[in-house]
Amino acid sequence: MIPDARTPVVVVTGFLGSGKTTLLNKLVSAKKESLVIVNEFGEVGVDHHLIDHSEERTVALPNGCLCCRLRGDLEETLIGAAMRRRRGDIAGFDRVLVETSGLADPGSVAQTLFADQALARDYKLGPVVTVVDAADVEGRRSSAEIARAQIAAADVVVLSKADRTRGLDGVQTEIHELNPSVRCIPAAFGEVDPAVLLETQTGNDKAFPAAAAHAGGIETFVLRFERPVPRALLERFIATLVGLRGADLLRVKGTVPLESGEHVLVQGVRHVFDRLRPVARGEPALVFITKQVRRNEIEALWHAMAGLVRE
């Protein structure tokens, strides 16, 4: 398999006050050779002053919410960092940690990485880490849409303030119902093994529970593949799906076996999907987290297209 030499971009997201900065400080103290990009939302930038990391390896994007106004800045920062790394103008780094503002939909960072070919040469999406204040039930209810988007996008959920929370099992169940493949780690004071966060794969690596429907029309389900599929069919299926309901695909990810013998990683956020990339064998299934797109609709589309190809 061709080695993937790109630098992973780890996204750390979560509500204001959920403990993102505490977690980020733990990560950078353990992994000093990280480039940290902090997104601040507000007139006075403060977050990057709270990051205990070298000035050279810390970049603040102070002009707004990363998900809606700063895509250009993030692209420029990442491309510029790769160029300056190659020239030796800045110290080397072997991962990027992007802290989004509390209100951001982290899926947009993934979209940026999938969509921009210049970026995709040097970077790949690393795990999306969502920090959830386990005790803050009210916060999740009052901003339910953003909370769901952040949990839907996550590969890892860190349940902060776990030591101060009753009913932790209930919170974990709530999260797994929304995102069945997510890894859930209770933590107090940001005490999480950095390796667990940074080395979690972005693909699916565990068995999936059955489909579930949630408040706000969020649907979570799995499309399984019983046999290897033609690459062209998979590509057309994704293109059709994006064309018809792209806006409602909060996150799609998983591994699909191809007839060529390869296994490919599929990852997408709304209208934007990464190109199919070879990976080691994984469970042959795609996890869908959607807004009002149901399992039977996706299955019907897949079976119709697969039937046409076979005939």
Partner 1 sequence: MMFLNMKLLAHHGLNGFGGMGEGMSMQLLRGGRRVLWLAHESAPKNFTAVDVTDPRAPKVVVQTDLPHAQMRSNSLEVAGDLMAVAYQVTRFGLKPAGFELFDVSEPERPRSISFFDASGPYSRGCHQLWFVDGATVHMACADPQLKPRDPKDDQVYRIVDVSDPAKPTAVGRWHLPGTMEGDDAPPPERLAPKFDAGFRAHNTNVYPERPERCYLGYLDGGMMVLDISERSRPKLVSRWSNSPPYNGFTHTVLPLFERGLLAVSDEAILDNGEDWPKLVWLLDARDERRLVSVSTLPAPPVDAFLRRGGRFGAHNLHENPPLPGAWRSESILLGTFFNAGVRAYDISDPYVPREIAYYVPDAPDGAPAGTVQLNDVFVDDRGIVFTVDRHAGGLYVLEMNI
Contact residues for partner 1 (CB under 8 A)?
Answer: 2-5, 7, 33, 83, 85-89, 91-92, 94
Which of residues 91 and 195 has its CB atom nearest to partner 1 in the complex?
A: 91
We find the least distance from the C-beta atom of residue 176 to partner 1, in angstroms, to be: 31
We find the least distance from the C-beta atom of residue 298 to partner 1, in angstroms, to be: 35
Which of residues 8 and 190 has its CB atom nearest to partner 1 in the complex?
A: 8
We find the least distance from the C-beta atom of residue 157 to partner 1, in angstroms, to be: 26
CA distance 65 to 123: 21
- Name the one residue in this structure whose structure tokens are 């693909």: 203
Q: Which two tokens stand for residue 155?
A: 């590969």
Which of residues 7 and 172 has its CB atom nearest to partner 1 in the complex?
A: 7
We find the least distance from the C-beta atom of residue 261 to partner 1, in angstroms, to be: 16
Which of residues 3 and 72 has its CB atom nearest to partner 1 in the complex?
A: 3
CA distance 233 to 282: 19
Which of residues 2 and 44 has its CB atom nearest to partner 1 in the complex?
A: 2
We find the least distance from the C-beta atom of residue 94 to partner 1, in angstroms, to be: 7
We find the least distance from the C-beta atom of residue 231 to partner 1, in angstroms, to be: 18
Which of residues 3 and 243 has its CB atom nearest to partner 1 in the complex?
A: 3
- In the chain the first and final C-alpha atoms are separated, in Å, by 32
